[in-house]
Amino acid sequence: MSSDQGRALWHGRFEGGPAAELMAFTESLSFDKRLWPDDIAGSVAHVHGLAHVGILTEIERDSVLAALDRVAREMGDGSFQFLAGDEDIHTAVERRVTELAGPAGAKLHTGRSRNDQSATDVRLWMKRELLTVAARIVDLQAVLFQRAIDAGSVYLPGYTHLQRAQPVLLAHHLLAHGWALARDVDRLLDALERIDVSPLGAGALAGSSLPLDPDYTARRLGFAGRFENSLDAVGSRDHVAEALFALTLVGINLSRVGEEFVLWTSEEFGFATLDDGYATGSSMLPQKKNPDIAELARGKAGRLIGDLTGFLATMKGLPLAYNRDYQEDKEPLFDAVDQISRALGAISGMIATATWAPERMQAAADSETGSATDLAEWLVQRGIPFRDAHAVVGALVRRHLAGEASLRDLVAADPALGADAA
C-alpha cells in the first residue's frame, strides 16, 4: 500500500481497486507480522545503503531512520495501528514510515522489491530462531546428561522389537537420545551456513539499474555474504526446505522419547512416574495420570512431517523466479519452529522431574533370558562357533519358556556346558 490507505503499492497499473475477495485471499499480514523486527532491520540497512551510494541525502536518511525507529517502538509496545489495506508486514511498515517521514519515506522502497525484501526478512528470522532452537536442544541434552549421571548403575532391559533383549544402563539409554539430539544441532547449524546469505539487492529478479551495493547491506545486516545470482536469490526456497527437514527430524527424535515415556510410565512397565506438574488427569476417570506431553510429542511429529511435505509439494515445479506460491513458505516454517520450541521446553521439564523406579527396571532386566546372548558368547570363548552356540542356547531358552525348568538348571544339566556356565 502507499501512504494513501486505499491504494495498493501496485495501483498505478490498474484503473480500479482490488476486489475485497482478492485482498482477503492474498493477505499475509495475519502470519507474517511476526517478521516486523527483521523487516525493520532490513529497511534500516537498505536506507543506509541508499545513502551510501548517494540516492538519499543525509537529511532524508536520518528522517527515514527516525521513522523506522518510531515504527519499531510502536510495534514493540503494541501501539502500532494496522489498517485494513495492509497486505503484509512490508506494506504496513512502509505505509507508516511514509506517514511519519513524508516524501523521504516514499523513497524507502527505492531499488527494492518485496521479493528480495521478504526473502531477506525470512533469512534474518531463520538465523535468529534456528539458533534459539539449537540452544533449546542443548538444554535438553544437558537434562539428559544430568539424569544419566544421577542414574549411576541403575539398569533396565534394552529392547528390540519392543521385546526384552539385553540389560543396559539407564544412563546409556538416556545418552542415546542425547547423541541423536547432537546430530539435530549439527543439522541446524549446517543449514544456517546456507541461510546466511543476503538476498537484498536482487530486486524483483534482476537487480536494479541504480548503483546499489549489496555487499554493503549484507555486511550491515550481519550476513556472511550476499547473493551471487539475483534469480536464485529471490526464486529459491531450498534453505527453507532444509530447515524444515532438520526441524522435522528434531520432532521425530522427540517423538521417540515421548513414546518411551508413554510406555515407561504405564502400569504395565512402571519404570517411571511423572511429576504432577508435567502430567494431566481425566475428566471422568479419577485414577488417571496421563503423559500428555509425551503423547503430544508423538502427535506433533506428524504435524511437522505435514509442514515439510506440504511445503515441498507447494514448491515443486515452480519456474524462476518469484511466484506468489512462495507466500506459502512462511506458515509451515513458523509452525515448525513454534511446535519444536514448545516441545523442547515441555519435554526437558518432564524428563528433569520424572522419578525412576530402579527396582522395577532391574527386576525386568534380571529375567533369565536376558543373559542368553552372554551365554552364547561364553561358548564362543570356549571355541564353539557362534552359529552353533546360538543354536544351543536358543534350544535351552525354548525349553525354559515351555516350563521344563529354569534356564540356569537347564544349563547346569547340559553336559556340553556344565556348572561353569550356570
DSSP letters of 218-259?
A: HHHHT-SEE-S-HHHHHH--HHHHHHHHHHHHHHHHHHHHHH
On whether both 106 and 121 belong to a single domain, the answer is no
The three-class DSSP label of residue 405 is coil
Taking residues 9-13, report their average pLDDT: 65
Query: Among 80, 110, 140, where does a domain finish?
Result: 110
Q: What is the pLDDT of residue 420?
A: 64
What band does 393 get if pLDDT is binned at 50, 70 and 90? confident
Q: How do 197-198 and 163-169 pair as beta strands?
A: unpaired
- Is 314 in the same domain as 242? yes
If one counts every other C-beta atom within 10 angstroms of the C-beta of residue 180, the result is 17
CA distance 315 to 331: 14
Over range 286-305, report the average pLDDT. Answer: 96
- Give the residue with greater pLDDT, 15 vs 47: 47
- pTM beyond 0.95: the answer is no
d(CA 182, CA 358): 27
Distance CA 357, CA 156 (A): 10
Q: Rounded to an integer, what distance in angstroms lies between the CA atom of residue 169 and that of residue 148? A: 9
Q: What does R_g of the chain's alpha carbons equal in angstroms?
A: 30
- Contacts with 382 (C-beta within 8 Å, 6 or more apart), sequence order: none
| 177 lies in the same domain as 149 | yes
pLDDT at site 2: 40
> What integer pLDDT is reported at residue 126 of this predicted model?
99
Q: What's the pLDDT score for residue 1?
A: 37
Question: Is residue 52 flagged as an active site residue?
Answer: no
Q: Once rounded to an integer, what is the mean pLDDT over residues 22-39?
A: 96
Residue identified by cell 522435522 is: 248
Q: What is the mean pLDDT of residues 88-115?
A: 98
Q: Which of 266, 282, 367, 406 is catalytic?
A: 282
Q: For residue 283, give the C-alpha cell.
A: 475428566
Residues 19 and 157 in one domain: no
Q: Any bridge partners for residue 290, and if so which? A: 280
**What is the spatial distance between Cα 30 and Cα 262, in angstroms, rounded to a whole number?**
36
Does residue 221 fall inside a structural domain? no
User: What's the pLDDT tens digit per position in 158-211?
Assistant: 999 999 999 999 999 999 999 999 999 999 999 999 999 999 999 999 999 999
Vertex 335 angle, CA 297 and 325, to 5°: 140
Q: Is residue 419 part of a domain?
A: no
Where is the domain boundary, 86, 110, 134? 110
HSE value, Cβ hemisphere, 13 Å, CA-based, for 7: 12
In a domain? residue 74? yes
- pLDDT, position 14: 73
Residue 160's DSSP bridge partners are 163
User: Is there a single domain that holds both residue 261 and residue 372?
Assistant: no
Domain boundary among 110, 142, 157: 110
CA atoms of 231 and 202, how far apart (whole Å): 7
Q: Is residue 225 part of a domain?
A: no
Quote the mean pLDDT of the chain: 94
DSSP 55-89: SS-HHHHHHHHHHHHHHHHHHHHT-----TT--SH
| Cross-strand partners of 156 | 168
Q: Name 163's Cβ contacts closer than 8 Å, sequence gap at least 6.
A: none
Give the CATH number for residue 178: 1.20.200.10
pLDDT of residue 67: 99
Task: Kindly state whether residue 223 falls inside one of the protein's structural domains.
Answer: no
Are residues 179 and 263 located together in one domain of the fold?
yes
Cα separation, 177 vs 345, in Å, equals 16
Which residues lie closer than 8 Å to 71 by C-beta, 6 or more apart?
Answer: 40, 80, 93, 96, 97, 100
CATH value at residue 92: 1.10.275.10
Nearest to 355 by CA among 131, 141, 117, 170: 170
Q: What is the pLDDT of residue 7?
A: 66
**Is there a single domain that holds both residue 43 and residue 132?**
no
Asked whether the predicted pLDDT for residue 5 surpasses 60, the reply is no
Does residue 172 lie within any of the structural domains?
A: yes
The answer as to whether 208 is a domain residue is: no
25 alpha-carbon distance from chain centroid: 28
| Number of C-beta neighbours around residue 317 at 10 A | 7
169 within a domain of the structure (yes/no) = yes
Same domain flag for 386 and 338:
no
State the pLDDT at residue 418: 62
The answer to whether 97 and 43 have CB atoms below 8 angstroms apart is: yes
Is 34 in the same domain as 101? Answer: yes
> Locate cell 512490508: which residue?
90
Same domain for 97 and 27:
yes
Same domain as 181, residue 67 = no
Q: What is the pLDDT of residue 210?
A: 98
Measured distance CA(134)–CA(141) in Å, rounded: 11
> Is 121 found in the same domain as 104?
no
Tens-digit pLDDT profile for residues 222-281: 999 999 999 999 999 999 999 999 999 999 999 999 999 999 999 999 999 999 999 999
Of all residues in the chain, the percent with pLDDT exceeding 70 is: 96
Q: Which of 29, 186, 171 is nearest to 96 (CA)?
A: 29
Strands 272-273, 155-160: parallel, antiparallel or unpaired by DSSP? unpaired
Domain that holds residue 393: 367-413
Question: Which residue out of 30, 153, 161, 209 is catalytically annotated?
Answer: 161
The yes-or-no answer on residue 282 being catalytic is yes
- For 357, phi then psi, to 5°, come to -120, 80
Number of domains, the chain: 3
